[in-house]
Amino acid sequence: MSCVPWKGDKAKSESLELPQAAPPQIYHEKQRRELCALHALNNVFQDNNAFTRETLQEIFQRLSPNTMVTPHKKSMLGNGNYDVNVIMAALQTKGYEAVWWDKRRDVSAIALTNVMGFIMNLPSSLCWGPLKLPLKRQHWICVREVGGAYYNLDSKLKMPEWIGGESELRCLWWLLCWVGSFELLSDYLTKEMKFPAPWTSLCFT
């Protein structure tokens, strides 16, 4: 399996014939404040009206500590830095389910035909104006298929970043697992609940 560089080797990236511009049909919501969870959700649904800051805050406020997967992570001030509990509950309001992916499993087990998109939690650099601070903070991003190809729809990017087809996507997951650049308990895939699927596409716990 050949691997596509992921913001890596510049020389290798330049040698690949990648699309120079994203197709116009891709909806890519850009970063505002600490609303990366909101942007990731709207990007995975390809709809700027899928969720609003107000709807996510309402979801957060009605979640009790007993229903939270990680109750120690909260957005008490409503600043938009929502955790996985809010994302999982938000997806359920649309008839979709967040399935926890255990990165110890072989990525070839993911049944991509049953997956609408991926929401990941990655460490991201903090910036203050034009300055990049020597600090890292967790950041939600979306990866999904549009028009037969997969794109990184990170809200911090200027435009969608082309990944490739299924083999390139699986290679990306393998590389991320190998370098440990994303957390085990923060990588989610979303799938439509109405599909009765085997464990290979459902039970990533």
How confident is the model at residue 196, as a pLDDT?
A: 30
Does residue 175 form part of some domain?
A: yes
How confident is the model at residue 64, as a pLDDT?
A: 61
pLDDT tens sequence for the chain (205 residues): 444 444 444 444 444 455 555 555 899 999 877 789 999 999 999 999 999 999 998 998 888 665 555 443 444 333 446 888 899 899 989 888 877 777 677 777 777 877 888 888 876 655 444 444 444 567 888 999 998 999 999 998 999 999 999 999 888 877 776 665 554 333 344 444 333 332 222 222 2
Rounded to 10 degrees, the C-alpha dihedral 146/40/72/177 comes to: 40
How confident is the model at residue 125, as a pLDDT?
A: 54
Does residue 7 form part of some domain?
A: no
Strand-pair partners of 137: 124
How confident is the model at residue 39, as a pLDDT?
A: 94
| Tally of domains within the chain | 1
How confident is the model at residue 170, as a pLDDT?
A: 85
Does residue 10 form part of some domain?
A: no
Burial profile 44-67: b = 16 or more Cβ within 10 angstroms, e = fewer:
bbbeeebbebeebbebbeebeeee
How confident is the model at residue 90, as a pLDDT?
A: 92
Q: Flag whether the pTM goes above 0.85.
A: no
Q: What is the DSSP letter of 109?
A: G
What residues are annotated to the active site? 36, 139, 154
Helix axes 36-45, 84-93, angle to 10 degrees: 30
Does residue 142 form part of some domain?
A: yes
Does residue 9 form part of some domain?
A: no
Q: What CATH number does the domain containing 39 carry?
A: 3.90.70.40
- How big is the chain, counted in residues? 205
How confident is the model at residue 183, as a pLDDT?
A: 43
**Structural domain boundaries, residue 104:** 30-197
State which amino acid sits at residue 107: V
CB 139 within 8 A of CB 36: yes
Report the half-sphere exposure of 18 (CA within 13 A, side-chain side): 22
